[in-house]
Amino acid sequence: MQNAARAAKTGGETRSAEWYAAQEAKRKKEKEEKKQLEKEMMLLLGKDYGGMTAKQKKKDEEEKKKEEERKKEEARLQYEHDFGVPITTLDQVFRVDGKSNVLRVCGELVWRDNLVSKTKDGSKECVYCKISDGSTRNPLPLTLIGWTPSNCPVKQGAVVDIRDAVAMVRGEAVDLEVTAGTGTITEASPTLAEHILNLKREAEELRERGGIPIEELIEEQRAKLRFAELTPLTAERFLEWKAKKLKAKQDAKEQERKELEAKQSKGGVNVLSGRALFAYDPTLFKDDDAAENEYQVEEVAMSSEDEGEAEGGEDGGEEAKNNDEGDNPIEEEPDVDLDALDDDDEDEENDDDAKKA
């Protein structure tokens, strides 16, 4: 039946097994050629156009992952380089005494001399600059020893990162020195530069809104006392001074109280005046808001009684008069004639003139 079906399909022709094997080999070859052609086409198109095999996709994803990890590691190392070492602000450098090593300073290079200069002793070439970070109003002088304007690693306007510098006090000024081979000066990374410029901008805006901050005024006064022999202030010394001042004040009040008691003691009884008693213990006195009203009411009542006594008759009036005279034994002064006084003064002047003559 199979042979009959094959014969009907092939027009009555009979095919051998070799023929079928050849046909199978042909189909397999065509399939491989098609696969190879697709592969070549994908390579020509590239991964941007989706021409990528599964193996290539996996490999590409692994490469992307490695690249991301590498960038993260670089960012971590850069962050440690930028912010891992503490940065000394310029206002702290201004407060140094004598000679001091400064581990790290960052700021904007606001000025740079373009002429070849020499150090103070004339032994080495140097470049004079000024840097600012906003912590102080005035820039800090900077000397780059061992560099010239032609080989200086930084330009004016750049944010610099200075390591292992030396702060020197000369007279009333402070100079920061960086020596080639000992210290380093490099241009700050974009992240660090942005951070320093933001701090500087915030400090300048603060000065514009409220003038010089109180901290800067204090530091300016301290700078004037830089070379005076002063005792450094610490928390322990401040608390000790405060306790002494408080004890001295209490002792003075106690001594004053004892002196007042000694002066006002009579017959073995100590008597304090109202003022001294208030100074000794103000809590003994209480302000009564209604006292003024009560006093006015009593005064009005007394005035009414006095009017009633006055209307009581002559006897009552005489009795009140006698009581008043007894209570207030003050004699009335006689009237003074002003004209007579003027005459007496003129007579005294005439007598004086006559004596002089």
Q: What angle do CA 184, 188, 193 make, to 5 degrees?
A: 145
pLDDT at position 124: 92
pLDDT at position 275: 74
pLDDT at position 289: 60
Amino acid identity at 333 = E
Q: Which residues contact 186 (CB under 8 A, 6 or more apart)?
A: 153, 154, 160, 161
pLDDT at position 281: 72
CB distance 153 to 184 below 8 Å: no
Instruction: Give the pLDDT confidence of 237-263 residue by residue, as tens digits.
Output: 889 999 999 999 999 989 988 887 787
- As annotated, the residues of the chain forming the CATH 2.40.50.140 domain(s) are 90-209
Give the pLDDT band (50/70/90) at residue 231.
confident
Q: Which residues contact 203 (CB under 8 A, 6 or more apart)?
A: 134, 135
At 182 the three-state DSSP class reads coil
Residue 3 or 310, more confident: 3
Quick count: other Cβ atoms within 10 Å of Cβ 252? 10
E-strand ranges in the chain read 99-112, 117-118, 125-132, 140-145, 159-170, 173-179, 184-187
Closest CA to 171 of 245, 242, 226: 226
Residue 314 or 143, more confident: 143
Q: Is residue 91 over pLDDT 60?
A: yes
pLDDT at position 60: 81
Residue 203 or 183, more confident: 183
Q: Is residue 186 over pLDDT 90?
A: yes
pLDDT at position 314: 47
Percent of the chain with pLDDT over 70: 65
At 149 the three-state DSSP class reads coil
Highest mean pLDDT among 275-279, 297-301, 321-325: 275-279
**DSSP 8-state code for residue 156:** T
**CATH for the stretch 90-209:** 2.40.50.140
